[in-house]
A and B are shown apart, each in its own frame.
Chain A
Amino acid sequence: MADTTATATPDMATSDDGIRRRDFLDIAAVSAAGIGGLAVVYPLVTQMAPSKDVLAASSTEVDVSAIEPGQAIKAVFRKQPLFVKRLTAEEIAAAERDDNAALRDPQTLADRTKEGHGDILVTMGVCTHLGCVPLGAAEGEVKGEYGGYFCPCHGSHYDTAGRIRKGPAPTNLEVPEYEFTSDTVIQVG
């Protein structure tokens, strides 16, 4: 580098292995432009992610005292339907009988309910396939081949514990985080 004949034309200033200092400049310039480009793209992409008001989704309280055995109510949790169902003795028996059956997403009824409230089944009313609301919560709706829920969009059948038994859905109806704040009131979320 100190060679004066080489500095006459800077491009010829090479180190022993043929790399020029200018090559580093090229890489540095393109890298800086690349980082700048990413800094432009990032806000343009992430503006589409949920905004602050959407993220400020609150929790929901549901009074379960008025639900009769065999009945279900639909509540709203984060703008999605929530099924709260009081199981009958037969439904509990059917669910427990299948606890050891070949399930796609193995879970027992006890896993899916709170201790001491084994008859209260709280699930999202959102089919785990592509998100439709399964039928079976309201009176007179089709309950499917396993007596629980039936999704009309692509024919997924759920059993009395809301477990996937047949059709394209991959997992059981999601049980959201919730707790009993009193004997008759649950707080979801």
Chain B
Amino acid sequence: MSFPWARQYEPKNPVSKFFDEKLPLPRLVYNAVGAGYPVPRNLSYFWNFGVLAGFFLVVQIVTGVVLAMHYAGNAQVAFASTEHIMRDVNWGWLMRYAHANGASFFFIVVYLHIFRGLFYSSYKAPREMIWLLGVVIFLLMMATAFMGYVLPWGQMSFWGAKVITGLFGAIPIVGEPIQVWLLGGFAPDNAALNRFFSLHFLLPFVIAGVVILHIWALHIPGSSNPTGVEVKQESDTVPFHPYYTAKDGFGLGIALLAYFALVFFLPNALGHPDNYIEANPLSTPAHIVPEWYFWPFYAILRAFTVDFFFVPAKLMGVIAMFASILLWFFLPWLDKSPVRSGHYRPTFRKFFWFGLIPAMVVLFICGGAPAEEPYVMMSQIATAYYFLHFLVILPIISSSEKTEPLPYSITEAVLGSDKKPVLGENTTPAV
């Protein structure tokens, strides 16, 4: 948002003047992430994860393009070409581990980004479109990560491909034909691997496109902040550069330390050892699990073990799994509380920390565990709570809860007091 007090771009030398008159790209950058973009002064470290997510998208695209120079998307040689990258290609081991663990870090920062949004209700007006585009990015990320995991053509790759395309086979009538169409055959084989390679290359660029819309939408109302109170005056904000470029840079340094600690010292900690066994279409590993970042949704899929009326358990699980994410599209309209931040919503806060978060942890644990008791029952209870939270509890508390008093402004929240705005000073009407 360009608040009235945002600094204006002034080209200083003849070169920048030349460009500003013909193609004002420097002006665009200045207004988007430079000194021309005022941001609330009270952002906590939870506001670092958007930039980190963008950074890991770049890591994935760069290492991905490099890996595609050496990888062969053919079922005969895919597994061997991956080992060729590990052993023979200069720095190939680094590129592969950076890409594989980069996916994990991408999901770590995106989950923190999402749950930041859930706690501070960043999805509420006027930021609904940012949220909706974010959910689209998340769905694209999951599709991309899934197809990437298929490419090494290990056991987990093969059986993951079989199970995930099988999800579409659960759709009545058209399901089977859709699954055959997705695989290009009756079981995962060369046709499937080949097209997954193509689509795994394409989708990150689609994600990058939606990320641009996501940032564009964010820059209309400007960033939310931990109080949930909108920006009213100049003293509520600081320019993005250098204040938040520096803070994001510091956060990036911390994230990179953790990331490279994993890449260098525990590169296989988040992977599954069975994917070092070449794909065998005649034998499913005794305990197959998806990658860790799919566990909560996998647990929801597996929680449905009995038929409901005319809906078979299989279809029920698939519907529930997709619905668990698709219901996020309706979140801005399910939570109608006028107060955004969880800091000022005591009831909401209790259900968030003692309801939603434990349910997610249980789903995460159950998704990685075998499909046995007590995990099946635990995931059933957690799944029930998950849907109850968003569809019932949240709408009820958002209309009945007694919220705590909000600060008058961001300035007051930070400094403890705020001189009331004087007529004629740089202000925008209170929202």
Contacts of B313 in A (CB 8 A): 167-168, 170
Q: Using an 8 Å CB-CB cutoff, how does the interface string of B275-294 with A read, 1 for contact, 0 for none?
A: 00000011111111000000
Q: Does B215 contact A (CB under 8 A)?
A: no
CB distance from A138 to the nearest CB of B (A): 8
Contacts of A130 in B (CB 8 A): 162-163, 166-167, 169-170, 314
CB distance from B268 to the nearest CB of A (A): 22
Contacts of B76 in A (CB 8 A): none
Which residue on chain B has the smallest CB distance to residue A135? B286
Q: Which of B124-132, B181-189, B384-392 contacts its partner?
A: B181-189
Q: Does A19 contact B (CB under 8 A)?
A: no
Q: Is there an interface contact between B185 and A168, defined as CB atoms closer than 8 Å?
A: no
Within 8 A of A (CB), among B149-198: 159, 162-163, 166-167, 169-170, 180-182, 184-187, 189, 191, 195
Q: Is there an interface contact between A50 and B182, defined as CB atoms closer than 8 Å?
A: no
Within 8 A of A (CB), among B350-375: 370-372
Q: Is there an interface contact between A153 and B159, defined as CB atoms closer than 8 Å?
A: yes
Question: What number of A-B contacts does a CB cutoff of 8 Å give?
Answer: 101
Q: Does B73 contact A (CB under 8 A)?
A: no
Contacts of B99 in A (CB 8 A): none
Q: Is there an interface contact between B184 and A154, defined as CB atoms closer than 8 Å?
A: no
**What are 6 pairs between A and B in contact, CB < 8 Å?**
A51-B191, A57-B186, A80-B281, A130-B170, A131-B169, A153-B159
CB distance from B169 to the nearest CB of A (A): 8
Q: Is there an interface contact between A78 and B186, defined as CB atoms closer than 8 Å?
A: yes
Q: Does B332 contact A (CB under 8 A)?
A: no
Within 8 Å by CB of B302, from A80, A125, A168, lies A168
Q: Given the known A-B contacts A50-B180, A153-B288, are A133 and B314 also in contact in the complex, defined by CB atoms under 8 Å?
A: no
Provide the bound-state CA to CA distance between A81 and B187, in Å. 10
Contacts of A81 in B (CB 8 A): 281-283
Within 8 Å by CB of A132, from B163, B167, B184, B315, lies B163
Q: Is there an interface contact between A79 and B185, defined as CB atoms closer than 8 Å?
A: yes
Q: Does A8 contact B (CB under 8 A)?
A: no
Q: Is there an interface contact between A50 and B159, defined as CB atoms closer than 8 Å?
A: no
Q: Does B401 contact A (CB under 8 A)?
A: no
Listed residue (A54, A81, A153, A169) with the most chain B CB atoms within 10 angstroms of its CB: A153
Which residue on chain B has the smallest CB distance to residue A81? B282
Contacts of B186 in A (CB 8 A): 50, 54, 57, 78-80
Provide the bound-state CA to CA distance between A76 and B286, in Å. 20
Q: Is there an interface contact between B184 and A48, defined as CB atoms closer than 8 Å?
A: yes
Q: Given the known A-B contacts A79-B189, A80-B187, are A152 and B287 also in contact in the complex, defined by CB atoms under 8 Å?
A: yes
Q: Is there an interface contact between A152 and B286, defined as CB atoms closer than 8 Å?
A: yes
Q: Is there an interface contact between B166 and A131, defined as CB atoms closer than 8 Å?
A: yes
Contacts of B189 in A (CB 8 A): 54, 79
Q: Is there an interface contact between A129 and B281, defined as CB atoms closer than 8 Å?
A: no
Q: Does B428 contact A (CB under 8 A)?
A: no
Contacts of B283 in A (CB 8 A): 81, 133
Q: Does B88 contact A (CB under 8 A)?
A: no
Q: Is there an interface contact between A133 and B184, defined as CB atoms closer than 8 Å?
A: no
Q: Is there an interface contact between B371 and A154, defined as CB atoms closer than 8 Å?
A: yes
Contacts of A168 in B (CB 8 A): 302, 304-305, 313-314, 317
Which residue on chain B has the smallest CB distance to residue A151? B284
Provide the bound-state CA to CA distance between A50 and B191, in Å. 8
Which residue on chain A has the smallest CB distance to residue B305? A168
Q: Given the known A-B contacts A79-B187, A80-B187, A152-B286, are A132 and B159 also in contact in the complex, defined by CB atoms under 8 Å?
A: yes
Q: Does B307 contact A (CB under 8 A)?
A: yes
Within 8 A of B (CB), among A27-82: 48-51, 54, 57, 74, 76, 78-81
Q: Does B421 contact A (CB under 8 A)?
A: no
CB distance from B94 to the nearest CB of A (A): 33
Q: Is there an interface contact between A170 and B314, defined as CB atoms closer than 8 Å?
A: yes
Q: Does B4 contact A (CB under 8 A)?
A: no
Which residue on chain B has the smallest CB distance to residue A170? B312
Known contacts A54-B186, A78-B187, A166-B305; 5 additional CB pairs below 8 A are A48-B182, A48-B184, A130-B169, A132-B162, A167-B305
Contacts of A118 in B (CB 8 A): none
